[in-house]
């Protein structure tokens, strides 16, 4: 549990959600890094009967991740063709060639498993 | 002519259909263009725009105004939008009720706002500023959302109505977004339609979505589903004849299929209003 709850002002809300949505390691892990718990997030984002607050925010985080991946697929079409789609998907966290263009840092990006 | 004329039934112009639209001039009442795709100095997009505009009414639909962001409004973007509007003479300009940027970074998404007094004042002030810069009123669209904020104090439809009143803007009612958000948040989509002020709705969007089990996603990769068609019928009953547009952004089918959906919308409108399309247009 965080010592201070996430702020509800527009400034505080957008700072917190932008941080969580764009975190390369995903919402749950980033929440932990911020000393937050799922309960902290539920004070800001309501769970639904089907989804927790973390899962609801993950919808946006996953779309953010896949938009970047889609752009990289287009930018590095020949690399995708050479290594295959699954290897390309899983590459950013373990190699340096994607991180070298500055768009994705290889030192901080942890890939989501390709389902 | 009205500030927001009734244009009939249009479709969103997408790159796979550019050549066919330019060469064959299909029977479509009007086209909606994604603003940012044409904010370029020249090249094929601007050539296509000139060709299409010469034969059809067009409207500019943006995705980057970020009306709800706490970032300052992007003056450069507004300058480019004003220049594009001056050249294109669109019937109107629209964007979304959302925030999509933070700290100068664009997320390329439509992130939802809490429905609070603070948000209302913030967004209304920015809509007024945009309208002052452009010298015209704009339409603001409801977005699909996948989360709700615990501290929202009013409903989304109350927020839209009050925003339109405070900013003196029009509304773009996305019926698919109402359907998606109603499913995701458990509210009655008919209550949404019933709560939006009739005189502010100047355009309607129709689109498809995808079912992810725990939630619906506004993916624009399917045809309009039966539930959205039924909700559109209710919208026509409440709002009358409103310029209506079919959106498709992924798994884009042949142009003829999108046009067929547009004609289905026109048929529903004519059936509900008991008039022919020509009579509907004349009555507006």
Write the CATH number for B30.
3.20.20.150
Whether A25 contacts A61, CB under 8 Å: no
- Dump pLDDT digits (tens) for B73-107: 999 999 999 999 999 999 999 999 999 999 999 99
Whether B252 contacts B222, CB under 8 Å: no
Residues from B contacting A (CB-CB < 8 Å) are 68-70, 99, 102-103, 105, 107-109, 111, 113-114, 118-119, 122, 146-151, 184-186, 213-215, 217
Which H or E run contains B109? strand B105-111
Whether B11 contacts B252, CB under 8 Å: no
Nearest CA distance, A43 vs chain B (angstrom)? 6
Query: What's residue A90's pLDDT?
Result: 72
Can you read off the two tokens belonging to residue B38? 């044409």
- Chain A residues touching residue B220 (CB < 8 angstroms): none
- Chain B residues touching residue A13 (CB < 8 angstroms): 114, 149
**Is B148's CB within 8 Å of A44's CB?**
no
| Cα–Cα distance, A99 to A74 (Å, whole number) | 16
Closest partner residue to A45 among B69, B149, B184, by Cβ?
Answer: B149
Among B50, B125, B97, which Cα is nearest to B200's? B97
**Site from A8, A13, A15, A23 to mutate, B interface, most B CB atoms within 10 angstroms:** A13
- Chain B residues touching residue A11 (CB < 8 angstroms): 70
pLDDT tier for residue B239 given thresholds of 50, 70 and 90: very high
Position B223 in a domain: yes
Position B1 in a domain: no
pTM for the whole thing?
A: 0.90
Among B171, B91, B89, B82, which Cα is nearest to B135's? B82
Among B29, B18, B111, B17, which Cα is nearest to B63's? B111
Lowest mean pLDDT among A68-72, A110-114, B9-13, B49-53: A110-114
Can you read off the two tokens belonging to residue A8? 């509800």
Closest partner residue to A51 among B99, B109, B215, by Cβ?
Answer: B215
pLDDT tier for residue B50 given thresholds of 50, 70 and 90: very high
Which H or E run contains B96? strand B93-96
pLDDT tier for residue A104 given thresholds of 50, 70 and 90: very low
- Domain membership of residue B241 as a residue range: 9-283
Give strand pairing partners of B3: none
For residue A102, pLDDT beyond 70: no
Among A7, A65, A10, A71, which Cα is nearest to A34's? A7
Position B3 in a domain: no
Q: How far is CA A81 from CA A23, A87, A89, in A?
A: 28, 10, 12
**Is B107's CB within 8 Å of A55's CB?**
no
Query: What's residue A100's pLDDT?
Result: 29
- Dump pLDDT digits (tens) for B113-131: 999 999 999 999 999 999 9
Query: What's residue B281's pLDDT?
Result: 58
Among A110, A64, A71, which Cα is nearest to A90's? A110
Burial class (CB in 10 A: 0-12, 13-18, 19+), B262: buried
pLDDT tier for residue B277 given thresholds of 50, 70 and 90: low
pLDDT tier for residue B278 given thresholds of 50, 70 and 90: low
Can you read off the two tokens belonging to residue A50? 């089907």
**Is A60's CB within 8 Å of B215's CB?**
no
Going by the DSSP 8-state scheme, the letter that residue B223 receives in this structure is: P
Q: Strand B9-12 and strand B243-246: pairing?
A: parallel
| Cα–Cα distance, B50 to A72 (Å, whole number) | 31
- Chain A residues touching residue B109 (CB < 8 angstroms): 60, 63-64, 67
Query: What's residue A107's pLDDT?
Result: 36
Residues B241-247 have a mean pLDDT of 98
Average model confidence (pLDDT) across chain A: 80
Q: Count how many Cα atoms sit within 13 Å of the Cα of residue A61 in the half-sphere of its side chain.
A: 24
- Residue B172 CA, distance from chain mean position: 5
- Chain B residues touching residue A22 (CB < 8 angstroms): 105, 107
Tally of domains within chain B:
1
pLDDT tier for residue B249 given thresholds of 50, 70 and 90: very high
**ipTM of the shown complex:** 0.93
For residue B280, pLDDT beyond 80: no
Position B50 in a domain: yes
- Chain A residues touching residue B69 (CB < 8 angstroms): 14
For residue A97, pLDDT beyond 70: no
Position B4 in a domain: no
Torsions phi, psi for B85 (to 5 deg): -65, -40
Nearest CA distance, A95 vs chain B (angstrom)? 25
CB pairs under 8 A between A and B: 72
Q: Strand B93-96 and strand B58-61: pairing?
A: parallel
Chain B residue closest in CA terms to A65 = B107
């Amino acid at each position: 549990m965080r010592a201070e709850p996430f702020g509800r002002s527009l400034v505080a809300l957008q700072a917190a959600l932008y941080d969580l949505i764009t975190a390369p390691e995903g919402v749950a892990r980033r929440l932990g890094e911020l000393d937050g718990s799922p309960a902290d997030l539920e004070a800001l984002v309501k769970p639904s009967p089907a989804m927790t607050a973390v899962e609801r925010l993950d919808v946006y985080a996953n779309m953010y991740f896949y938009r970047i991946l889609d752009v990289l697929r287009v930018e590095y079409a020949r690399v995708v063709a050479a290594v295959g789609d699954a290897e390309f998907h899983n590459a950013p966290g373990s190699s340096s060639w994607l991180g070298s263009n500055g768009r994705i840092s290889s030192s901080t990006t942890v890939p989501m498993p390709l389902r | 002519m009205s500030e927001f004329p009734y244009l009939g039934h249009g479709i969103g112009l997408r790159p796979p259909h550019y050549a066919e639209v330019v060469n064959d001039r299909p029977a479509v009442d009007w086209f909606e263009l994604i603003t940012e795709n044409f904010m370029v100095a020249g090249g094929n997009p601007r050539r296509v725009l000139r060709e299409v505009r010469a034969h059809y009414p067009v409207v500019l639909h943006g995705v980057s105004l970020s009306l709800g962001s706490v970032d300052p409004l992007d003056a450069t973007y507004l300058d480019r939008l004003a220049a594009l509007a001056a050249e294109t003479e669109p019937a109107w300009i629209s964007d979304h009720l959302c925030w999509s940027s933070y700290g100068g970074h664009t997320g390329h998404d439509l992130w939802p706002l809490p429905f609070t007094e603070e948000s209302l004042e913030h967004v209304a002030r920015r809509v007024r500023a945009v309208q002052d810069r452009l010298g015209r009123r704009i339409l603001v669209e409801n977005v699909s959302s996948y989360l709700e904020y615990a501290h929202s104090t009013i409903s989304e439809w109350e927020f839209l109505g009050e925003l339109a009143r405070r900013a003196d803007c029009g509304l773009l009612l996305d019926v698919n977004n109402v359907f998606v958000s109603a499913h995701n948040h458990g509210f009655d989509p008919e209550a949404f339609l019933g709560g939006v002020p009739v005189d502010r709705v100047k355009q309607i969007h129709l689109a498809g979505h995808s079912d992810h089990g725990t939630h619906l996603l506004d993916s624009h990769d399917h045809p309009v589903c039966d539930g959205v068609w039924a909700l559109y019928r209710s919208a026509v009953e409440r709002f009358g004849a409103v310029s209506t547009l079919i959106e498709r952004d992924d798994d884009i089918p042949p142009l003829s299929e999108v046009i067929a959906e547009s004609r289905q919308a026109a048929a529903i409108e004519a059936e509900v209003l008991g008039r022919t399309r020509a009579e509907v247009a004349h009555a507006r």
